[in-house]
Structure 1
Amino acid sequence: MSAARAVPPALDREVRTRSAARFAHPALLLAGIVLVALNMRACLAAVSPMVAEIQRTFGLSATASGLITTVPVLFQGVGAPLTPRLTRRFGTERVVLGAVLALGAGVLLRVLPSVAALYAGCVVIGVAIAVLNVSMPGLVKREFPHKAAMMTGVYSTTMLVGATMAAALSVPLERALGGGWRASLGAWSVLALVAAVAWLPQVLRARQERTAPVRVAGPVAPPKPVGSPWRSALAWQISVFMGVSSLLVYTLVAWMPTILADHGMPRGEAGLVFAFSNLVQVVGAFLVPLLAGRMTRQRGLALAMAGLNGAGVLWLLLAPVSGAWFSAAVLGLAQGGSLGLGLAFIVLRTDSVPGAARLGGMSQAVGYLVAAAGPVGAGALHQLTGGWDVTLVVLLALAAVAAVAGWGAGRDRTV
């Protein structure tokens, strides 16, 4: 038997190029982004309706139960600065795949019959989400350079849809699967697996593109060095805007139904008001990045989001029951819009993919560490004062801080 004939270089290059092209279809990329984004909030929102059952299962105190939702937020802040280094070493596609698989593993770890496993799963989930939070803006900027703001709206909206879906389905899943809270929460690992399978073509495409030789027609300018965003005033303004906006979201996610119930609203109605607010967030998360992408400066948009946050909190302070539905609508629009605008700032205020990754790492590290203090601080103020008025006044002041930071972040400059 004669030895196999060597493949001509030109034919080998054509085969690799065609192989990469098979996985480069925009529909495959869009499906992958949407399915990954669905996972980025679902496993956090799914646990909220189950906290009381988890507490009873392990005999946890109220403080220890609160850590089930606080630990992932904290570790989103801790994990965010590590992501740019990972993407430089392994490539964005492989890092996203690894983060989605880690997310699914964290979901399964969280439902094992051990308190240590419960909190370890929360840590893994937080770090995995941090990696995805930082990777996605740079990937969107690279793959959709002329539609980055629009695609930011698509995936930020999808994140909120995933959260709403998870919160709504957790209890029905518990009943349908018949395995208690563990079966309900563990089921979300299937969504992570589906997202990993949908993302695999992007990993294969990136691998083919790395092995394919590249012909250069002329001299290539050296890549522009990317400086540290930690020394940039603009980067700090973006980070503060994201941090304070996230603090407002997480604080009201933790306490808004309780605030309404403490003022006399039936708990069932308070839950409906809260669900309505989450639904309206989807509208803000989709529309605001679209508007941001059509503007050279987003100062007015940032002020509008901060102003709506302040108006919603003020109405909650002045008319907590009679104005609850109005507050929910205003806060939902402001919170979803602030999330979308913060993510849009990452792609609009940078001029390179590595720059977007570094700014994303910084802004989300600062943002989630600040946000993690919100629910705990609000609970402490409530316990200290015996009411919610002081807490809501502090949130009003923080909305003003977000307005100042957003005014700076909305300038037509790059980090």
Structure 2
Amino acid sequence: MATYSPAVRAGTSLFTSSLLIGILLIAANLRAPITSLGPVLEQVQQHFALSAAAAGLLNALPLLMFASASPLAPWLTRRLGLEQALFGALCLIAAGCLIRSSGTLTGLWAGTLLIGAGIATANVLVVPLVKRDFPAQAALCVGLYAATMALMAALASGVSAPLSALTGYTWKLSLGVWFALALVAILCWLPHLRQARSGASAVAPPPPKSVWGSAIAWQVSMFMALQTVTFYTLIDWYPAMAASVGIGASESGAHLFAYQAVAVLANLSTAVAIKRLQDQRLLGLICSLAIVVGMAGLLWAPSLALVWLVFAGVGAGMSMVTCLTLFGLRVRDHHQASALSAMAQCVGYGLGAAGPFLAGWLHSVYGSWQVSLWMLLAAACLQIFFAVMAGSRRFIE
């Protein structure tokens, strides 16, 4: 049996801790540049005289990029390696934050595209990295990763408007400040980039068999898609839904913060629970039922909206961690994990981006949010089926 000196063990432990910190810093950059836009979107719209349709497209563009760019991430991994591809993704996010806040219309759109492309790539590749380097602690790492994303998303939403009031740079400061966070992540990732280069093989691995024909892959992807529809529709439209039943803007903002804060707690508790269960069917059922209760409550008892958002937030947090963990649990190696992650996020964010659009369109047609909430309730009920199927212990062959 091999033995290691204390110095070797300490060095390995230090490198592993540094890698986990690097992963969490990547996670911190995967939602904050997006959620920081919403609170200052009206300022951006006025500055550039954007139409309502153009402003809506600007808000939806990152999600559309997630769907369209995700399938390219496994190809990048085979060409460059996981570490190099993630480093490139961070560089795209950093450049996008700077360009988007330049104050030009071209910069606004180009920067948003770069941010979306960078986040799409990192979204896909973090889970394969965790499966490769933290196989025994994958669920816990994914839980910390998801919790960091959710926490930074909520923080960015909360500080964006106050930051815009600090200086004459207004919204440019609110959107550009996230360049600093991306730069910190880039600097932290450099040692791992050098390590990957020093141990790189000259022969690229063969591409894994396509997962698009796998029933399990489609079940995981539909689970991802349906929970994404509900989450992003509520994030985009809940304030308007709340206003229609007499809930003020400040109160609805507090409700949304509670929704996201509860999701963070659910991220961490689900990561612990996954390790104790034989499979993920029970978790899939519980998280989906929590969303069903939340949507039904908003539909039939909107005066208790905070209670229903807590249910929905628990379901959203559990769903996200369960989905991300399934990317690693339903495959044999990290190459397959990359392929499944790409497919699930392509399908998930592609359909997820349609949720806010359909909800707004249904409201414009019927003049009420009731039909939109029925749509979300139907999506949550359908999620029960796909979550339970995806949670059964099987592998993509």
Instruction: Spell out the pairing of 1:146-165 with structure 2 (5 A cutoff).
Output: 146-165=136-155
Residue by residue over 1:227-246, the C-alpha shift from the partner in whole angstroms, topping out at 9 and shown as x without a partner, is 21101000000000001100
Q: Which residue of 2 aligns with 1:42?
A: 32
- Residues 348 and 336 from structure 1, CA distance in 2 versus in 1: closer, same or farther, beyond 3 angstroms? same
Correspondence 1:248 to 2:238: no
The 1:243–1:51 alpha-carbon spacing in structure 2 relative to 1, beyond 3 Å, is same
SS at match of 2:29: helix
Quick check: which has more Rg, 1 or 2?
1
1:352 to 314, 328, 333: 333
Q: Does 1:315 align with 2:297?
A: yes
Task: Provide the C-alpha distance between the structure 1 equivalents of 2:119 and 2:13, rounded to a whole number of angstroms.
Answer: 25
Q: Which residue of 1 aligns with 2:245?
A: 263
State the Cα distance separating 1:309 from its structure 2 match: 0.6
Match of 1:135 among 125, 146, 151: 125
1:409 and 2:390 aligned? yes
Deviation at 1:389? 0.7
Quote how far apart the aligned CAs of 1:201 are: 1.1
Q: TM-score, normalised by structure 1?
A: 0.90
Pick aligned residue for 1:381 from 362, 365, 374: 362
Match of 2:221 in 1: 239
Give the share of equivalent positions with the same residue, in percent: 38
SS in 1 for 2:368: coil
In structure 2, C-alpha distance between the alignment counterparts of 1:296 and 1:349, rounded to whole Å: 13
For structure 2, the residue ranges without an aligned partner over 5 or more in a row are: 1-7
Partner of 1:8: none
Matches of 1:123 and 1:23 in 2, distance apart?
Answer: 37
How far does residue 168 in structure 1 lie from its aligned partner after superposition? 1.2
Where do 1:163-312 residues align within 5 Å?
Answer: 163-210=153-200, 226-312=208-294
How much is the aligned-residue C-alpha RMSD, in angstroms? Answer: 1.9
How many residues were matched structurally?
387
Displacement after TM superposition at 1:22 (Å): 7.7
Q: Residue 78 of structure 2 corresponds to which residue in structure 1? A: 88
CA contact (8 A) 1:24 1:205 kept: no
2:384 counterpart letter in structure 1: A
Q: 2:343 aligns with which of 358, 362, 370?
A: 362
Partner of 2:314: 333
1:211 & 1:252 partners in 2: Cα distance? 46
**Contact 1:23–1:204 (Cα < 8 Å) also in 2:** no
Distance 1:106 1:224, change over 3 A: closer
Deviation at 1:117, TM superposition (A): 2.2
Give the Cα separation in 1 of the matches to 2:292 and 2:106: 39
Change (3 A) 1:248 1:36: same
Q: For the residues of structure 2 that align with 1:178 and 1:172, how far apart are their CA atoms? A: 12
Cα displacement string for residues 21-62 of structure 1 (whole angstroms, at most 9, x for unaligned residues): 689612211111111110000001111101110111011111
Tell me how far 1:292 sits from its aligned partner. Answer: 2.0
- Partner Cα distance (1:147, 1:23) in 2: 14
Distance 2:289 2:12 in 1: 47
Report the equivalent of 2:90: 100
Change (3 A) 1:224 1:129: closer
Ranges in structure 1 where 5+ consecutive residues have no aligned partner: 1-17, 213-222
Provide the C-alpha distance between the structure 2 equivalents of 1:23 and 1:149, rounded to a whole number of angstroms: 19
1:110 aligns with 2:100: yes
For residues 367 and 207 of structure 2, the distance between their equivalents in structure 1, rounded to whole angstroms, comes to 53
- Would you identify which runs of 4 or more consecutive aligned residues in structure 1 move more than 6 Å? none
Structure 1 residue matching 2:50: 3-state secondary structure: coil
